[in-house]
Amino acid sequence: MSQHHRVLEVDRLSVIHRARGRRGLPVVACDEVSLSIAQGEIVGVVGESGSGKTSLAMAVAGLGRITSGTATVSGVQIGRRLPRESRAEIQVVFQDPHGSLDPRQTVQRGLKELRRIHPRRTSWIGDEELLAKVGLDPLLLGRLPHQMSGGQAQRISIARALLLRPSLLLADEPTSALDVSVQAQILRLLLSLREEEGLTILFISHDLAVVRAICDRVHVMLRGKVVEEGVTSEVFDRPQHEYTKRLLAAIPGHSTPDSTGDKAGASASVGATVAREAS
């Protein structure tokens, strides 16, 4: 792993949200979090609601507060005043596929706007070919967000991210709002984009089954701290931290340790895995 190019390096990153309201106390959302991702890896962050996952993602994307520590993407340190070119290196796909698209804009208009802002980054591919990469019919170019299903809208969000050739894709619960069968399709799409485009992904989820299906490595967060990390199959088969054990115990049917462990196998059976473990 270490011989590969490091796309993301997070070093003792802390995020403290200011108090809300007069009596509110500041919230330590991330407490000295460190992690790194090599080119082409899919690395997961799991933890219960409020453990700091989105705060971490927003900080890494340059969209949220960094109280101390650093996040570096392809050698550029993240801060609030990133130049446009560096900002484009990190693309984010959010949970709500419709909410992240402009409701008044057809898919094609939206792509056109991205191409106008980033003419050089986006010239590598045409609209129809881009949609084909995310498994969509070119007919969808004329659609407005409300004329698409959740799965289609999420594919469009992924296509828009892909168009900018980011060195890092941040996916924050990208399948949580989707039906289980559509979830599996989107996960398979992300895996194939990693294979074909060399996409590097920081994958955030509260859903261990989903993380198991696509992440090479995983970090477990509890109240802002990373309490356990490692190769996904090892963390799942031999959890060390009590919290990880509790999370795993909550997955129906988890007691059968998955012996395949390798990514090729996981990728081929992601639908079955997700369907079985999420049901």
Ligand X SMILES: Nc1ncnc2c1ncn2[C@@H]1O[C@H](COP(=O)(O)OP(=O)(O)OP(=O)(O)O)[C@@H](O)[C@H]1O
CB–CB of 14/31 below 8 Å? yes
Residue whose CB is less far from Mg ion, 164 or 204? 204
Is 244 near Mg ion (CB under 5 A)? no
d(CA 170, CA 7): 12
User: Binding partner of residue 29 among Mg ion, ligand X, none, CB under 5 to 8 Å per kind?
Assistant: ligand X
Rg (CA), the chain: 19
Is 54 near Mg ion (CB under 5 A)? yes
Residue 175, judged by CB atoms within 10 A of its CB (0-12, 13-18, 19+), counts as: buried
Is 32 near ligand X (CB under 6 A)? no
Residue whose CB is less far from ligand X, 107 or 218? 218
Site stretch for Mg ion (CB under 5 A), options 54-62, 98-106, 139-147, 246-254: 54-62
Residue whose CB is less far from ligand X, 117 or 250? 250
CB–CB of 239/228 below 8 Å? yes
Residue whose CB is less far from Mg ion, 53 or 188? 53
Site stretch for Mg ion (CB under 5 A), options 47-55, 82-90, 158-166, 190-198: 47-55
For CA atoms 161, 162, 164, 166, give the dihedral sign. positive
Count of residues of this chain found to bind ligand X when the rule CB under 6 A is applied: 13
Please, which of residues 180-239 interact with ligand X by CB under 6 A? 206
CB–CB of 94/61 below 8 Å? no
Binding mask 36-75 for ligand X (x = CB under 6 A): -----------x-xxxxxxx--------------------
d(CA 204, CA 26): 24
Find, among 195, 249, 241, 194, the residue nearest to 222 by Cα.
241
Interacting residue ranges for Mg ion, rule: CB under 5 A: 53-54
Interacting residue ranges for ligand X, rule: CB under 6 A: 17, 20, 27, 29, 47, 49-55, 206
